[in-house]
A and B are shown apart, each in its own frame.
Chain A
Amino acid sequence: MRRRVAPIVASFVGVVMVAFLWVLVSAEPNAPDDAFSPLVGQPAPAVVTTTLDDAPFDLARRKGSWVVLNFFNSTCVPCINEHDELLAFAAAQQDEENPAEMYTVVNDDSDEAVTEFFAANGGEWPKLRDPDGAVAVAFGVARVPETWLIDPNGVVRLRIAGELTPSLLDEQLASLRTAFGI
């Protein structure tokens, strides 16, 4: 019996190793980014801040319109890539009878850099300051870009994490408008 201890223990350790290696090697490709947030379907968190033009902003007072909050940083590559989409979306909204309101929330960036970016690339909508990240934390935003849709009753309806694909925002907003009739 004692003769067999070594091979038995060795095979046991071998089995554990094989299982460990299998776990490391057989990793499935990543599932698409889960955009679930516990805030969807809940009243939006309070957002009270100022715009880059020093005008006051209070999310609660925007009830009555759909609100789009886009979390942005002028050095983040996907944010730069999706900027044209946002411009197209904002332009299309002008033709709606109840246009959605577009706001950019500045995430970990300086006022100057953001102003410069928008001056060079267009986009007239208000940009909101978020100096210590309170708004980002309230929405649970860790990485930019993220785009949030809030309905006219102040309830969060959609979270899009990552770069916007063409027409995604228009389509989503249209289907939400139909779904909720507002």
Chain B
Amino acid sequence: MSARVRASLWVLLAAAFAGLLAFGTLRESGPLSQQDRIDSISRRLACPTCSGESIYVSRAAAAESIYAEIARQVSDGQRNDDEIIAYIESRFGGQVLLVPRATGIDAVVWALPVAVFVASLAVLGMAFARWRRREQSGPSNADRQLVSDALTNEAGKES
């Protein structure tokens, strides 16, 4: 396959990829059933008597009660997801929020991974730049001396 055909094939692939991805992402995934809403809300709340399990996962009594409350409120249809979560939080306190807030010290848990990732990219970038600079500078004077000494020795031995 010639380079030109290949290049155009790649362009085609890229376009198809972008197009399909856009289509799939923007497409409606169908209406959310009540059960889907209950499941998604219960995944955002923590069981108050467990060690970090969500309401969705936990089978503890307190979790089952909160799940039943969520089901009740979803079928009432009065509140949206965030409001239901706010209601549960108003009763049980911040300990039931499974997603740490983005304020105060809690924001650290979101910011730190991003900071670490950016820092590691920066360090990698600097390392690559330094390596390339070293490549371009060529052998050092000490290295040249070493080589010429070795050559002189070899020449001395031969003669």
Residues of A within 8 A of B (CB): 37-39, 107-108, 132-134, 136-140, 142-143
Which residues between 29 and 61 of chain B lie within 8 Å of chain A, taking CB atoms?
48-49, 61
Q: Which residues of A contact B64 (CB under 8 A)?
A: 132-133
Pick the residue among A108, A133, A134, A142 that contacts B92 (CB under 8 A).
Answer: A142
Complex Cα distance, B115 from A168, in Å, reads: 51
Pick the residue among A37, A38, A39, A134 that contacts B65 (CB under 8 A).
Answer: A134
Report the minimum CB–CB distance from B64 to chain A (whole Å). 7
Residues of B within 8 A of A (CB): 48-49, 61-62, 64-66, 68-69, 72, 88, 90-93
Report the minimum CB–CB distance from A134 to chain B (whole Å). 6
A134 and B69 form a contact (CB under 8 A): yes
Report the minimum CB–CB distance from B106 to chain A (whole Å). 16
Q: In the complex, which residue of chain A has the Cβ closest to the Cβ of B49?
A: A142
Q: Which residues of A contact B90 (CB under 8 A)?
A: 38, 140
8 pairs of residues in contact across A and B, judged by CB atoms under 8 Å: A38-B93, A132-B68, A133-B61, A133-B64, A133-B65, A134-B68, A138-B91, A139-B91
Given A38-B90, A137-B91, check contact A143 B68 (CB 8 Å): no
B65 and A136 form a contact (CB under 8 A): yes
Complex Cα distance, B93 from A39, in Å, reads: 11
A133 and B91 form a contact (CB under 8 A): no
A137 and B49 form a contact (CB under 8 A): no
A133 and B62 form a contact (CB under 8 A): yes
Q: Which residues of A contact B88 (CB under 8 A)?
A: 137
Report the minimum CB–CB distance from A37 to chain B (whole Å). 8
Complex Cα distance, B93 from A138, in Å, reads: 12
Q: Which residues of A contact B48 (CB under 8 A)?
A: 142-143
B91 and A140 form a contact (CB under 8 A): yes
A133 and B93 form a contact (CB under 8 A): no
11 further contact pairs, Cβ within 8 A, besides A108-B61, A134-B68, A137-B69 = A39-B91, A133-B65, A133-B66, A136-B62, A137-B65, A137-B66, A137-B88, A142-B48, A143-B48, A143-B49, A143-B62
Complex Cα distance, B93 from A37, in Å, reads: 8
Complex Cα distance, B88 from A136, in Å, reads: 11
Q: Which residues of A contact B66 (CB under 8 A)?
A: 133, 137
Report the minimum CB–CB distance from A107 to chain B (whole Å). 7
Complex Cα distance, B66 from A39, in Å, reads: 17
Q: Which residues of A contact B91 (CB under 8 A)?
A: 38-39, 137-140
A-B interface, 4 closest residue pairs, ranked by CB to CB distance from nearest: A133-B65, A140-B91, A142-B48, A108-B61
Complex Cα distance, B92 from A39, in Å, reads: 10
Complex Cα distance, B73 from A132, in Å, reads: 14
